[in-house]
């Protein structure tokens, strides 16, 4: 019987697994020796490749570690058992309220693949709430809820992508509707938005851009996964004041810290480094050369920049 290769799940390389789960390559190898999991196969060149079901289990293990569990206490369980544990742990935090019904409704539309209905619902909420409240009160918690559902296996990868693309359409339209200041306007910081090469998630970047434009910043977005040398070149060519980087929970903390340190060294004081997102490294070991902000802090951050920097006409900002 012939096998249809197109229908077979594609195994992941160790680099793919590191990127998709946030578990470092070194950690994967340690777990392999210490806990006998994961159990990668080998490709014709002898390199590790990870079946889809092992990657799914690794996502659940990483989710539980983020919730406070130790790897040795959870890694021996099956994926189904880990999913149940993750759901209970995520829903059982003291004082944590159940998700708002509006968020649940959006999640249900995503699960049922009603993409046009989801876009209409998001667009209507934007009109009612205004861009700032839309981002902080709806989009940010909804994106976190979608991420948790994906990490716990309640949402397929393609369903998470459907949500991402739907939100991008709505957010881009909203950002374009805000008048952009003149590139040389006094008091308008020139902000370059992007992610490090290992970070492929861009919704945090889009949310930050929306908050920046509301505050009168001049924004230039390079999208995701920009090489460090290209970031530095863009800073020079575009006379950038601030490089704003977004980090998702899936970003490997070591790569985040190493990337920030290297970018800081390459920038050599040409621009400030700002960062935000759900990566644990930003909260636990914040580098002294990076300013870390949440979405709700952006207005105050931009105001603080204006106080520190002179305006482009030579007068105080």
Task: Supply the pLDDT for residue 90.
Answer: 63
Instruction: Compute the distance between CA of residue 58 and CA of residue 20 in angstroms, rounded to an integer.
Output: 10
How far separated are the first and last CA of the chain, in Å rounded? 73
Residue 317 forms part of a structural domain: no
Instruction: Compute the distance between CA of residue 69 and CA of residue 57 in angstroms, rounded to an integer.
Output: 15
- pTM score of the predicted model: 0.77
Residue 313 forms part of a structural domain: no
* pLDDT tens-place string over residues 20-52: 887 889 999 999 999 999 999 999 999 999 998
* Same domain, residue pair 43 and 111: no
* Same domain, residue pair 131 and 77: no
Residue 96 forms part of a structural domain: no
With 0-12 / 13-18 / 19 or more C-beta atoms within 10 angstroms meaning exposed / middle / buried, residue 11 is middle
Residue 315 forms part of a structural domain: no
Bridge partners (DSSP) of residue 193 are 221, 244
Which residue range is the domain that position 111 belongs to? 101-176
Tally of domains in the chain? 3
Least confident of 161-165, 259-263, 283-287, 297-301: 283-287
Instruction: Compute the distance between CA of residue 125 and CA of residue 208 in angstroms, rounded to an integer.
Output: 18
- The label of the residue with tokens 């309640």 reads 154
Of 69-73, 90-94, 181-185, 267-271, give the range with the top mean pLDDT.
267-271
Task: Of 99, 75, 85, 187, give the one whose Cα is nearest residue 147.
Answer: 99
What are the φ and ψ backbone dihedral angles of 14, each rounded to 5 degrees? Answer: -65, -30
- 317 Cβ contact partners less than 8 Å away, ≥ 6 residues apart: 186, 187, 305, 306, 307, 309, 310, 311
Average pLDDT over residues 239-267: 92
């Amino acid at each position: 019987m012939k096998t249809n290769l197109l229908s077979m799940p594609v195994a992941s390389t160790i680099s793919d697994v590191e990127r998709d789960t946030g578990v470092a390559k070194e950690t994967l190898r340690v777990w392999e020796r210490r806990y006998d999991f994961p159990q990668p196969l080998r490709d014709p060149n002898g390199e590790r490749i990870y079946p889809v079901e092992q990657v799914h289990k690794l996502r659940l293990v990483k989710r539980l570690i983020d919730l406070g569990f130790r790897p040795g206490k959870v890694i021996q369980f099956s994926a189904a058992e880990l999913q149940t544990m993750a759901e209970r742990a995520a829903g059982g935090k003291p004082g944590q309220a159940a998700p708002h019904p509006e968020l649940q409704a959006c999640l249900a539309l995503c699960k049922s693949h009603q993409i046009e209905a989801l876009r209409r619902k998001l667009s209507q909420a934007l009109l009612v709430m205004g861009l700032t409240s839309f981002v902080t009160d709806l989009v940010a918690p909804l994106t976190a809820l979608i991420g948790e559902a994906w990490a716990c296996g309640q949402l397929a990868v393609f369903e998470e992508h459907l949500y991402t693309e739907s939100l991008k359409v709505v957010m881009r339209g909203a950002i374009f509707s805000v008048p952009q200041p003149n590139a040389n306007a006094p008091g308008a910081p020139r902000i370059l938005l992007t992610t490090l090469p290992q970070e492929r998630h861009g919704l945090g970047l889009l949310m930050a851009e929306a908050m920046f434009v509301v505050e009168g910043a001049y924004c230039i977005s390079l999208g995701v996964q920009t090489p460090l040398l290209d970031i530095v070149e863009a800073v020079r060519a575009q006379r950038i004041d601030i490089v704003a980087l977004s980090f998702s929970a899936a970003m490997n903390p070591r790569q985040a810290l190493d990337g920030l340190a290297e970018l800081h060294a390459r920038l050599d004081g040409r621009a400030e480094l700002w960062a935000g997102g759900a990566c644990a490294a930003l909260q636990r070991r914040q580098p002294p050369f990076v300013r870390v902000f949440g979405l709700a802090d952006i207005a105050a951050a931009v105001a603080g920049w204006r106080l520190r920097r002179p305006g482009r006409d030579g007068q105080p900002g």
